Structure formats: C-alpha cells, structure tokens
Structure 1
Amino acid sequence: MPKGKPRKKTRKHEEIQKQVSGIHLVRERGQHLLKNPLIVNGIIEKAALRSTDVVLEVGPGTGNMTVKLLDQCKRVVACEVDPRMAAELQKRVLGTPASQKLEIMVGDVIKTELPFFDVCVANLPYQISSPFVFKLLLHRPFFRCAILMFQREFAQRLVAKPGDKLYCRLSANTQLLARVDHLMKVGKNNFRPPPKVESSVVRIEPRNPPPPINFKEWDGLLRILFNRKNKTLSACFRTSTVLELLEKNYRIHCSCNSIAVPKDFNVKNAVKEIIVGCGYAEKRSKSMDIDDFLTVLEGFNSQVFALGQ
C-alpha cells in the first residue's frame, strides 16, 4: 500500500470534522465548538443563572450553549467575531420565542465596548485569553461572575498560589481584582475539531469594591518583580534599567505635584531604603502574596515613587 494513502484519508477525516452546518471551521482562529452537552450543562449550572439575568456570551459559535442560556435568563447578548457563525445562530432561533431574548454583536470582543451584563459565559479563542480577562475585570458596572473556558495551562496560571511553578504576574494581577476558582477540566475530544491542548473552566468573581490602589502603579511594580521572579527584591531593583525608570518617574511625579527633589537625591539609596524598610529585601516575588506586594507598593507610594507612569 502506498505510503500516501493513509495521509489522504486522515486529511479527509479532518476536513469533515471541521465542517459544522456547512461552515468551515478555522483552527488558527481558535474555532473549536464545544459538542458535549454534559459539559455545556455543567457550565450553565455553575453560572447559577437567575431569570432576571442578562448574560454576555462570548464565542457562541452555532449556539449549542446559547439556546440553553436563553431558557434560563432574561436576555443573552452573544458576541461573535465570525459573521457566518452569527448568521447560523440567528437562523437557529428564528421564529421561536427565544429570538426576542437574543442580541447578537458581530465583532472582535477585545475591540468592542461591552454592554451591561450580570453573568459572562465564554468559550474563548485562546490567543485572546489574557486581554479578555483584564477587559472583564476592569469593566464597569460590576458583574456577578464569569464562567470562562481557557487553555489548561492558562487556567492554572490564573489560580496559581505563591510558591507554585506557574505563579506569575497574571496570577497576582487577577487575584488582586477577583476571586478565581478552577471548576472543571475539559478534554480536547469534547470539541469539534479537537484543539491541540486540554482545557479548563474557571469561575471569576470580581472583588466589589476593588482594592483602593492605582492599578497602573500596581502593575508597574509587578512587571519589575516578575521579570526576574527567582531573584531577590534587592536584585530586581538593582539593575540600571529599573533604577533609570524609577528616577525618571520620580522626577516627573515631583514636577507635576510641585515637590522639590532633594539636591543629594540618589535613586539607588532611596529604593534600597524602601525595600529594606518594608522588610522584603531578601524576598522573592515567586513566593510573595497579594498582601506582600501591597506592602511594597505602599512603601514606594509613601516616598512618592510613581511606578506605573
């Protein structure tokens, strides 16, 4: 048997798998439709929907989850980037009472202004996971919760704790603004076509009210610390690039607020005094929790250092 024959059969099988209702699914665009009704039902159950809820669904595809959401809530706003999928979803509910409860937004959810919603449910293309999480967390007014499907490793980063291998800036940033829980693992065979990676579902509940800090300042601090998360804080703040940035921001802040810069000002000594005074000079960011970072941020703010400008 020629070597090429099995390959042709495999390609043909893959092409069949990529066709849904005559729509060619594009793997590179993250188009993997959730086909297992048990997983769909599990996600909806975890959302704990109320009859008065407005649900934002991102990536509805052909509507396997959408039609079930419509049965349990007041309204669904479905955001879909692919006009073909949006048309298929519209056709699916056409002529039913559910059609009056469905609003379809066609476009890139990252570039779209989000409407009011109580609950968000999303099966996201993995390449937009991080920007979408922060778009959600900075969205106002506050929503109650979000049930989101992510690539397994990304989900593990969201819930990672200090000391975990995957603990990173994403972990700390997310956990500052929300409570994050891992809900379930979802194998690749639950999708059509199957993605190359395993997935997980997480629940995000924003902290309301949020911590009373400047998020740009906070993120600026974390960028410095997690850039070298295995180094001590002393080492992180000893590099010339970081010191130059801090001195520039310090002088700008002083200038904008009519604060005189001391003639003998030395940024290296000032930074050392702050982190030693906080008691974190020998700590490493990989093992620091939210309260630790907040203490360090407060130390810099007390000396009018602007980390996030």
Structure 2
Amino acid sequence: MAGGKIRKEKPSRAAANHFQGGISFHKSKGQHILKNPLLVDTIVQKSGIKSTDVILEIGPGTGNLTKKLLEVGKMVIAVELDPRMVLELQRRFQGTPFSNRLKVIQGDVLKCDLPYFDICVANIPYQISSPLTFKLLAHRPAFRCAVIMFQREFAMRLVAQPGDNLYCRLSVNTQLLARVSHLLKVGKNNFRPPPKVDSSVVRIEPRKPLPPVSFKEWDGLIRLCFNRKNKTLGSIFRQKSVLSLLEKNYKTLQALQLSQKGLLENTEMALDVSVLGDTIEDDSSKEIDNGGDDDEMEVEDGDAAVEGSNFKDMILGVLKQGDFEEKRSSKLTQVDFLYLLSLFNKAGIHFS
C-alpha cells in the first residue's frame, strides 16, 4: 500500500491534473491513497518521533506522509519500488529545505539492504506484511519502534493473546521478538480507491535483550504446536509423523555429538528470524495475509501410536514433567512455550 498519499493542502489546478492524469495508482500492487488528512497527523503523533531520529518510510508514494516526517525528524530514508513515485518524490522536494534530508532508495524493500534507522513509519502493501515484519525484526542494530499500517486481520493476529480466536504461530513468533500494540483502526473508506478490507495501525517495539533461545528451534516447536492448536499437546506429540521427525533429529544430533549449549546459543549479531515468517504468506490477489493454521506444516491427522517406542515414552515423559500433556497451544503463553522448549532440550530433543 503506498504510504501517506494525502492531499493535505489544496493543490493548484495544474497540480491536480498532473496528480490525477499523470500518475495512476495500481490497486493490484497495493497502491491506495489515504484521503483523510487527520490519519497522517495521528500516525505521526503516535509514532513519537524525535528531532534527532532517522526515519525509514516504506512506500512513500507521492510524499505527503514523507513531508510530515521530514518536518519532525532529522532525516527520512524512503524505499519505493515504483520508479514513477521516485520521480515524483524527487520533483516534489527538489530545491526545498527538505532535499538534503531525504534519501530515496528505489527497489524492493524485501530484497535491499536497509541502512541504519531509529524508527519506521510505513503504509505498506498488504502482501508483504509477514516477510517485512520479520525482516525489520532481524535488522541490526535494532530500531526503537515501527508504526505500520496492516490489513486489520493481520494486525489482530499480531496482537492476539492466548485464548483469542486469532492467536496463532504469527502471534507467538512476533511477540517473542517484540512488544506489539494496536494503535487505531482505519476503515477502508479512508482510501482512494478503497481496499477490500479495513486496516489497523500497529506499534512494534523490538525486545532488548532478546530471549536466550535458538529461533530456528523455537519456530520448529511452534510449528508443531500450532498445526492443530486446539488439540492437546499429548495428542499432537503422539502422531507418528511428529515422533518420526523428532526421533530423526534426535539420532542425527546424537551422531554428530552436538552440545546442547551450542544449539541454544544465541547472539544478536547473528540473528536469523527469517524462518519465523517463511510460511505465513498471503494471497496478494485477495489482499489478505492468513498467518493462521491453514499455512502451517502438514502432519498426519491420526493419532497413530508408535508401540514399544522408548522415544515416544521420552516425549510423553517431557510433557508430563511440565504438566503439558492435556494443555492446548491456543491457551499457552510465551513463558509456557519457553519452558516447554527448555524441557525438551534438556532431554536431548531438538526441533531444528
């Protein structure tokens, strides 16, 4: 979604003709114009931008939000895929006091290397919601916060808590790495052309320090648990496919004699969280990012037992030790999952 395209000031007739006739916005690419000027003011206000901040803006469009950000921050780095919008930005700010405080990067934000920034303010295409969220959370050094407009359902998944209907793998993985809060709902009629769904603005603050956990292991566990989030963990971990997968990992690690300390070691310098969002994709043609259980790793539906398996007894013993056998993923907190992962690791069972 092209960010911050608001007609804040009444344009001249020539400017209006150029805007309407010279640039057509592609709905299929997530380009929508925010037409409510109060929304941009609210977003900028809630971002808590300081005069010393370097601001990353994604999808600046014609630059109305960009102008507001330049007025309150030190510098704006705008990443824009559409060359027409890049040209429009350059024309708009050329020869103004803002020109030396605006850096425009033409390219795909998911593919380009992002420079240092203090805060991110963005109104993004819905179809990049998940990969962009985790790319930002993997960025180093960590930024202070990001204030981003998402599709409302995706936003609600980000902030969902245990017991909520929308609580899913996306919720757990994001909240492991960041504090997420919902700022405001934005109706679809605030855009021209209106998208198919409502939107929400979310604030994301990276956790400092990060939890001392292997993120690939973490996601391996969360994938299994949320494959059937309303089943008991005892039922999930009795499935033949799950037991076979974990036993293969167990035997491989034993053969390689990898130490538990090495597997759990985590440093911010080498943070790789791309795995956390790699299966939470969306269908851009439908303007929706699922983020839920339908995209999770497939396992067998049946609770086929592996009779006489010492490994199965070991798995169930871990669940009983932590009193997890009758619990459901949809009700478990971050602390619960961290404790469960630690119990598995202590038993020599790993998920990556």
Using structure 1 for the length normalisation, give the TM-score. Answer: 0.90
CA distance in structure 1 between the aligned counterparts of 2:245 and 2:34, rounded to whole angstroms: 46
- State the match for 2:85 in structure 1: 85
The answer on 1:305 being equivalent to 2:345 is: no
CA distance in structure 2 between the aligned counterparts of 1:21 and 1:242, rounded to whole angstroms: 57
CA distance in structure 2 between the aligned counterparts of 1:25 and 1:223, rounded to whole angstroms: 38
How far the C-alpha of 1:265 sits from its partner, in A, is: 7.3
Q: Which amino acid aligns with 2:222?
A: L
Provide structure 2 residue ranges, at least 5 long, that are not aligned to the other structure. Answer: 1-15, 260-307
Over 3 Å counting, the alpha-carbon distance change for 1:25 and 1:258 in structure 2 is closer
Aligned-pair RMSD on alpha carbons?
1.6
- State the match for 1:50 in structure 2: 50
CA distance in structure 2 between the aligned counterparts of 1:21 and 1:240, rounded to whole angstroms: 61
How big is each residue's C-alpha offset from its partner over 1:178-228, in whole Å with a ceiling of 9 and x where there is no partner? 111100011111112110100000101110111010011111100000010
CA distance in structure 2 between the aligned counterparts of 1:191 and 1:92, rounded to whole angstroms: 22
Over 3 Å counting, the alpha-carbon distance change for 1:20 and 1:241 in structure 2 is farther
CA distance in structure 1 between the aligned counterparts of 2:210 and 2:245, rounded to whole angstroms: 27
CA distance in structure 2 between the aligned counterparts of 1:69 and 1:114, rounded to whole angstroms: 18
2:328 aligns with one of 284, 287, 296:
284
CA distance in structure 1 between the aligned counterparts of 2:92 and 2:191, rounded to whole angstroms: 20
Q: Note if contact 1:159-1:171 (Cα within 8 Å) is conserved in structure 2.
A: yes
Over 3 Å counting, the alpha-carbon distance change for 1:222 and 1:258 in structure 2 is closer
Q: Which amino acid aligns with 2:341?
A: L
CA distance in structure 1 between the aligned counterparts of 2:148 and 2:187, rounded to whole angstroms: 15
How far the C-alpha of 1:35 sits from its partner, in A, is: 2.4
- State the match for 1:191 in structure 2: 191
- State the match for 2:212 in structure 1: 212
Corresponding residue SS for 2:64 = coil
Aligned pairs for 1:56-71 (under 5 A) are 56-71=56-71
Q: Note if contact 1:187-1:198 (Cα within 8 Å) is conserved in structure 2.
A: yes
CA distance in structure 1 between the aligned counterparts of 2:197 and 2:161, rounded to whole angstroms: 23
Q: Which amino acid aligns with 1:270?
A: M
Corresponding residue SS for 1:65 = helix
- State the match for 1:22 in structure 2: 22
How far the C-alpha of 1:257 sits from its partner, in A, is: 2.1
Q: Note if contact 1:246-1:267 (Cα within 8 Å) is conserved in structure 2.
A: no
CA distance in structure 1 between the aligned counterparts of 2:324 and 2:166, rounded to whole angstroms: 22
Over 3 Å counting, the alpha-carbon distance change for 1:300 and 1:21 in structure 2 is farther
CA distance in structure 2 between the aligned counterparts of 1:97 and 1:21, rounded to whole angstroms: 28
CA distance in structure 2 between the aligned counterparts of 1:214 and 1:258, rounded to whole angstroms: 14
Q: Note if contact 1:35-1:64 (Cα within 8 Å) is conserved in structure 2.
A: no
Q: Which amino acid aligns with 1:285?
A: S
Aligned pairs for 1:114-193 (under 5 A) are 114-193=114-193
Farther off after superposition, 222-231 or 79-88: 79-88
Corresponding residue SS for 1:131 = helix
- State the match for 1:296 in structure 2: 340
CA distance in structure 1 between the aligned counterparts of 2:111 and 2:148, rounded to whole angstroms: 19
The answer on 1:267 being equivalent to 2:267 is: no
Greater RCO (Cα-Cα under 8 Å, separation 6 or more): 2
Q: Note if contact 1:54-1:77 (Cα within 8 Å) is conserved in structure 2.
A: yes
Q: Which amino acid aligns with 2:232?
A: T
Over 3 Å counting, the alpha-carbon distance change for 1:242 and 1:71 in structure 2 is same
Over 3 Å counting, the alpha-carbon distance change for 1:193 and 1:240 in structure 2 is same
How big is each residue's C-alpha offset from its partner over 1:213-270, in whole Å with a ceiling of 9 and x where there is no partner? 00111111000000100100011111121111111111222222268xxxx9732111
CA distance in structure 2 between the aligned counterparts of 1:296 and 1:302, rounded to whole angstroms: 10
CA distance in structure 2 between the aligned counterparts of 1:56 and 1:138, rounded to whole angstroms: 15
CA distance in structure 1 between the aligned counterparts of 2:325 and 2:50, rounded to whole angstroms: 49
How far the C-alpha of 1:112 sits from its partner, in A, is: 1.4
How far the C-alpha of 1:91 sits from its partner, in A, is: 1.0
How far the C-alpha of 1:20 sits from its partner, in A, is: 4.2
Aligned pairs for 1:239-250 (under 5 A) are 239-250=239-250
What percent identity do the matched residue pairs reach?
Answer: 59
Q: Note if contact 1:249-1:306 (Cα within 8 Å) is conserved in structure 2.
A: yes
Aligned pairs for 1:23-42 (under 5 A) are 23-42=23-42
Structure 1 stretches (4+) deviating beyond 4 angstroms?
none
CA distance in structure 2 between the aligned counterparts of 1:75 and 1:256, rounded to whole angstroms: 50
Over 3 Å counting, the alpha-carbon distance change for 1:125 and 1:258 in structure 2 is closer
Corresponding residue SS for 1:153 = helix
Q: Which amino acid aligns with 1:303?
A: A
How big is each residue's C-alpha offset from its partner over 1:47-84, in whole Å with a ceiling of 9 and x where there is no partner? 11111100000111111100110111111100111111
CA distance in structure 2 between the aligned counterparts of 1:265 and 1:141, rounded to whole angstroms: 46
Provide structure 1 residue ranges, at least 5 long, that are not aligned to the other structure. Answer: 1-15
CA distance in structure 1 between the aligned counterparts of 2:136 and 2:309, rounded to whole angstroms: 41
Q: Which amino acid aligns with 2:312?
A: K
Q: Which amino acid aligns with 1:182?
A: H
Farther off after superposition, 185-194 or 248-257: 248-257
Using structure 2 for the length normalisation, give the TM-score. Answer: 0.79
- The alignment of Structure 1 onto Structure 2 pairs a total of residues equal to 287
CA distance in structure 2 between the aligned counterparts of 1:114 and 1:265, rounded to whole angstroms: 49
Over 3 Å counting, the alpha-carbon distance change for 1:285 and 1:20 in structure 2 is farther
